[in-house]
Amino acid sequence: MSKTYQVISADGHCEAAPDYWHPYVPEKHRARAPRLIDVAEGGVAWQVEGQPLRYLGQHVTGRNKVKFRGESYRNADGSWREGCGPAAQRLREQDLDGIDAEVMYPPSLISVFSSTIADRDAYKSVVSAYNTFLAKDYCSVAPDRLIGTGITPTSGIDDAVDELKRCKELGLACMNFTQFPNGSGSPKPEDDRYWEAALKNDMRVTPHLRFGGPHNPTQGGNTGLQGFSAALQQRTDSPLLFSISQMIANGVFDRFPELQVYVAETNASWVPSSLFFLDDNYEIFKHWFGVTLKMAPSEYIRKHFLFSFIRDPLAIGLRDFMPKGFVENNLMWGSDFPHSVGSFPDSRQWIEKVFAGAPADLRRRVLVDTPVRYFGLDANKELTPTPAAN
């Protein structure tokens, strides 16, 4: 490992088996918590209330070939697989991959699918249990190298704000959200309480891949802000742009000019064309919808959104076609370990491929300076050393 940050992955996953966080679920709710079951074809699957069986599949691929079924968190000898073990193991895996730190996103099997647990208190207890484990047992081992993102519950704005504040008290600095803070796929006025709390408590807000919904709407009607949001998104390539357009159309960033949102694992080669089409669509449709924005949609995105890419050489190769300063200030890189589309254990080779021909200072901005700035890290402090293997 390096003494100070040289490569920060802004997209990793804490694929934590129930063994880790189940003890934090109150006993009265533990029977309703997601659990693992053995399946006849081999491996294990998640059993979640209100869901079909959810297989580990590509969530624990690591360096192996993708298998959508027949996977487990453990090796045949009972040891934890790469990407599934405790914090000390994860730090050794960072060293193996040639990186210094990771932003740790929750498993979708907890953050997304557990929302179908019908009992609100039981659902909240599952979310809180994972967040407590992440803060107390995992990231606390090396908070400068394991940057945890807590789960925002989708059970209403009160629960979302309360959990954000609790995660702050636990020592986490980021919150992941899969829906809008009100718990639905569309923004509502009460969401302002969450954005306000995030800024007041210095908590970063960071969805993974996408948030809200629906995605890729073909029309969305011809009146109102929903229709305007859908109109803005026409001819763009990224499904998350509808949710971004909703935030812009609803004036979120006019009310909270300091708010920044980082969306992990979006890749970035879509940026040049999509930002052009967002602005062009605005000019085409704004008269019909009677909407006048304070800035062009692309300007809102440049000021308020950051994105990360994995194995996307065009993210850097198309830099001359992106808005000035966008690559340097709005992009980060991530390995997505241990998921299937990640770069482990060859991240350094992928980084060389992605940044081939790029200036050294640009590489430094994307791999270190931008994540340091966004996540409030100390670029000069010597990093927590990696514990030796037992």
Number of separate helices (H) and strands (E) present in the chain: 16, 11
Q: How far apart are CA 16 and CA 360, in angstroms?
A: 36
Non-local (6+) Cβ contacts of 147 within 8 A are 101, 102, 103, 104, 139, 173, 174, 375, 377
For the chain, give the mean pLDDT: 92
pLDDT score at 276? 93
Instruction: Count Cα atoms within 13 angstroms, Cβ side, for 12.
Output: 30
Q: How many Cβ atoms sit within 10 Å of the Cβ of residue 144?
A: 16
293-309: pLDDT as tens digits: 999 999 999 999 999 99
pLDDT at 389 over 90: no
- Contact between 319 and 362 (Cβ < 8 Å): yes
- Long-range (24+ apart) CB contacts under 8 A made by 267-270 are 267/307, 267/309, 267/310, 267/312, 267/315, 268/307, 268/308, 268/309, 268/312, 268/314, 268/315, 268/331, 269/309, 269/312, 269/314, 269/315, 269/317, 269/318, 270/236, 270/237, 270/238
pLDDT score at 218? 39
Q: Where does residue 198 fall: left (phi above 0), alpha (psi -120 to 50 degrees), or beta otherwise? A: alpha
pLDDT band (50, 70, 90) for residue 236:
low
Average pLDDT over residues 382-389: 94
Pairing between β-strand 101-105 and β-strand 146-151 as defined by DSSP bridges: parallel
Residue 191's SS3 state is helix
CB-count burial class (<10 Å; 0-12, 13-18, 19+) for 366? buried
Beta-bridge partner residues of 102: 9, 146
Residue whose token pair is 């009265």 = 28
pLDDT at 217 over 60: no
pLDDT at 328 over 50: yes
pLDDT at 220 over 80: no
24-56: pLDDT as tens digits: 999 999 999 999 999 998 999 999 999 999 998
Residue whose token pair is 């924005």 = 293
Architecture field, domain 8-25+82-375: Alpha-Beta Barrel (3.20)
pLDDT score at 235? 54
In 3-state terms the chain splits into helix, strand, coil percentages (rounded to 5) of 45, 10, 45
Instruction: Count Cα atoms within 13 angstroms, Cβ side, for 181.
Output: 24
Report residue 182 as tokens.
């009100």
pLDDT at 138 over 70: yes
Percent of the chain at pLDDT > 90 equals 84
Q: How far apart are CA 120 and CA 126, in angstroms?
A: 10
Q: How far apart are CA 205 and CA 214, in angstroms?
A: 20
Identify the DSSP state of 47: E
54-113: pLDDT as tens digits: 998 889 999 999 888 899 999 999 999 999 999 999 999 999 999 999 999 998 778 888
Handedness of CA 359, 311, 75, 135 (dihedral sign): positive
